[in-house]
Structure 1
Amino acid sequence: MAAPGSVVPNRRFTAQVYVLPARGGGRAALVPTGYRPQFCIRTADVVGDIGLGEAAVARPGDTVTMSVEPGRETPLEPGPGSAVREGGRAAGAGTVTAARRVPTPKFRGRGPGPGPVLGARRAPAPARGGRPAVRRHNGTMNEPIPVTRPVGHGTAKLMPDVDRERAWLLTVDGAPQSYVDLDEPAHLEFEYTRRLGHVLDTLAEPGHPLDALHLGGGALTLPRYLAATRPGSRQDVVEFDGELLDLVAGQLPLPEGADITLHAADARAWLESAPDASADVLVADVFGGSRVPAHLTSVAYAREAARVLRADGVYLGNLADAAPFAFLRSQLATLGTVFEELVLIAEPGVLRGRRFGNTVLAAAHRPLDLVALARRTAADAFPARVEHGAALRDFTGGARPVRDEDAVPSPEPPDGAFGIG
């Protein structure tokens, strides 16, 4: 029995678990990341994917911290005990230490169709103290308050994070778009942005500046990250919604000295006018509403992206899909006509077809550092798999490359796929 609203269904939790050894009736084999036992928590009985961070495996008899993605939303809160079972026998026991409902964000750069290039402009870089409006207490301005404003494609809202003093969540029409911490721009809150960050970290020696092109702006999370981790990087950001750019640049100022230029323009139109071999990395994170626009899914678009990248440049895309993955497979086939190397990064639960979710697709003319990527993604709180080579070719199957005349947007996400828990 609980008061309405006092318990929130969660899709992820962390637990401290003792892995029962064989002599106690448990397992004799190692427990790996991706293991899927049953978790019995109070009256809930649910199967969950586990993640073990950098350790990747646990031995029987170990007490470990594991992240768990249950197969369905489960009312949880820190504190209750959990029995871990496998095939009707006990496999371990532990305690839930943290629980949260994490949205699958659709990071974005609006622009469902071609639009005019409104020109480039340098975003202002006010002093470090800049912040959105704050509430006054006893004459002192010290408590940030949400900022709501209509923009070109909906209603944008900036909401402060109560746990981080100058961190903000950007939503558009209620769906989470970006999260930024002005004091710690290298902090990437959403899992899929961390995976993009992992790829960016492996492209060159640490701290070496890159020339980057971002298609899709949001709250400029990755441009801020690159400016912090690779000072001196030259970056262009193309965002269709100029009013959203104005809101973000005005309320969430860019770091002083960051070489980041904002362009209010359609992504493909701007790309087609960009110089040859002008970027080390191209990050495509473009959504019209909740879908990748059709004109950013074709072979002609992929060829333009390859033209703008240097010979050793890397293309990164954020794509959302679910089983049977017709859209994702078509994008692998499309980029495979232009780039020799393809890598797909996604959570096991998404790749198994259990839910709609984000994937990161990397494409290049050169091999990527797969060992470093696998190590970094496995060490995340919610680990991802790195697929490449023959396994990725098998996943792509007989999918055909997309022509402009046949292009369609990415699939509409199911209700509740993008939201704030």
Structure 2
Amino acid sequence: MPDVDRDRAWLLTVDGAPQSYVDLDDPEHLEFEYVRRLAHVLDCAAEPGAALDLVHLGGGALTLPRYAAATRPGSRQQVVEFDAALLELVTEHLPVPAEAGLTLYPADARAWLEQAPAADADVLVADVFGGSRVPAQLASVEYAREVARVLRPGGLYAANLADGAPFGFLRAQLANFRSVFAELALIAEPAVLRGRRFGNAVLLASDAELPVEALSRRCAADAFPARVVAGPALAKLIGSAVQVPDREAAPSPPPPSGAFSLS
């Protein structure tokens, strides 16, 4: 069940695992490293301060939408969260100002996406986990095609994924999006990329050139630096992986015990 530690900064946990962190006094403070990397993507998606049309698949405590509202005022943000009870808890205890421009949908991410208008978003962020695993319905090439349909030309997709060596799930996701988008990149800590531990990786996809250099500078400057992998190095990582249709899609692998715990 969701639980919230009450203080000026709020930590939301689900079944004992950290789910979201919110600083009500400073929405630009991002505690979790993978959220910082998603925020770097938003920072580099357009000129500083420019409003964007954003879709967030997976809401949690609305940490990233709060950040976007603070850094890109006037943005239109649609947030899709399957857990209606979680949304109710968050909106009751961690309300977002009306001017943040959020519309919340308690819905399944894939089903909602399939009904969304075409060419409706500048940026689509996916941070969807069922327990500690990315659901199978967000792990197929058909899903990647739906993402492409909802994004505007030149739009940007960013997904928080989790995997460990030999990266069967991650490589398949990269293959899915390579078959649909012209440009790909991946953000992850060096230890994850080298297969030394299980962890988060942010997949980026677009039909336009990705801001790899700007992202690399930002990610390298973090307290826990990450690398941005693109071009031949990313092609080497993908290797012989092939796209996965809906009928064969599987959720991401379960994390090792303690991989995402607070201890």
Point out the structure with the larger strand share: 1
Q: How does 1:247-396 map to 2 (within 5 A)?
A: 247-396=89-238
Partner of 1:192: 34
In the aligned structure 2, how far is the partner of 1:393 from the partner of 1:358? Answer: 19
Is 1:156 aligned to residue 25 of structure 2? Answer: no
From 218, 234, 242, the counterpart of 1:400: 242
In the aligned structure 1, how far is the partner of 2:44 from the partner of 2:77? Answer: 18
TM-score by length of 1: 0.62
Q: Which stretches in structure 2 are left out of the alignment for 5+ residues?
A: none
In the aligned structure 1, how far is the partner of 2:66 from the partner of 2:154? Answer: 23
Distance apart, 1:255 and its partner CA: 2.4
Distance apart, 1:316 and its partner CA: 0.4
In the aligned structure 1, how far is the partner of 2:128 from the partner of 2:208? Answer: 25
In the aligned structure 1, how far is the partner of 2:212 from the partner of 2:126? Answer: 21
Name the aligned partner's letter for residue 208 of structure 2.
Answer: R
In the aligned structure 1, how far is the partner of 2:82 from the partner of 2:34? Answer: 22
Q: How does 1:194-233 map to 2 (within 5 A)?
A: 194-233=36-75
Distance apart, 1:361 and its partner CA: 0.6
SS at match of 1:283: strand
In the aligned structure 2, how far is the partner of 1:374 from the partner of 1:311? Answer: 24
Q: How does 1:93-172 map to 2 (within 5 A)?
A: 155-160=1-6, 166-172=8-14
In the aligned structure 1, how far is the partner of 2:29 from the partner of 2:207? Answer: 29
Distance apart, 1:256 and its partner CA: 3.8
In the aligned structure 1, how far is the partner of 2:218 from the partner of 2:155? Answer: 21
Distance apart, 1:418 and its partner CA: 1.5
Distance apart, 1:159 and its partner CA: 1.0
In the aligned structure 1, how far is the partner of 2:27 from the partner of 2:98? Answer: 12
SS at match of 2:117: coil
From 86, 92, 97, the counterpart of 1:244: 86
- For residues 94-127 of structure 1, give each alpha carbon's deviation from its aligned partner in whole angstroms, at most 9, with x where no partner exists: xxxxxxxxxxxxxxxxxxxxxxxxxxxxxxxxxx
In the aligned structure 1, how far is the partner of 2:84 from the partner of 2:99? Answer: 22
SS at match of 2:203: strand
Name the aligned partner's letter for residue 236 of structure 1.
Answer: Q
Q: Which stretches in structure 1 are left out of the alignment for 5+ residues?
A: 1-154
SS at match of 1:257: helix
Aligned length: 263
SS at match of 2:236: helix
In the aligned structure 1, how far is the partner of 2:86 from the partner of 2:212? Answer: 36
SS at match of 1:272: helix
In the aligned structure 1, how far is the partner of 2:153 from the partner of 2:225? Answer: 31
In the aligned structure 2, how far is the partner of 1:316 from the partner of 1:328? Answer: 14
SS at match of 2:99: coil
In the aligned structure 2, how far is the partner of 1:376 from the partner of 1:419? Answer: 26
Name the aligned partner's letter for residue 176 of structure 2.
Answer: T
In the aligned structure 2, how far is the partner of 1:256 from the partner of 1:229? Answer: 15
Distance apart, 1:160 and its partner CA: 3.5
Name the aligned partner's letter for residue 56 of structure 2.
Answer: H
Q: How does 1:54-93 map to 2 (within 5 A)?
A: none
TM-score by length of 2: 0.99
- For residues 313-350 of structure 1, give each alpha carbon's deviation from its aligned partner in whole angstroms, at most 9, with x where no partner exists: 10100000000000000000001111010010000011
Q: CA RMSD in A?
A: 0.7
In the aligned structure 1, how far is the partner of 2:201 from the partner of 2:65? Answer: 19
In the aligned structure 2, how far is the partner of 1:358 from the partner of 1:246? Answer: 27
Name the aligned partner's letter for residue 279 of structure 1.
Answer: A
- For residues 346-385 of structure 1, give each alpha carbon's deviation from its aligned partner in whole angstroms, at most 9, with x where no partner exists: 0001111111100001100011111111110011011001
Moved over 4 A (4+): none
Point out the structure with the larger helix share: 2
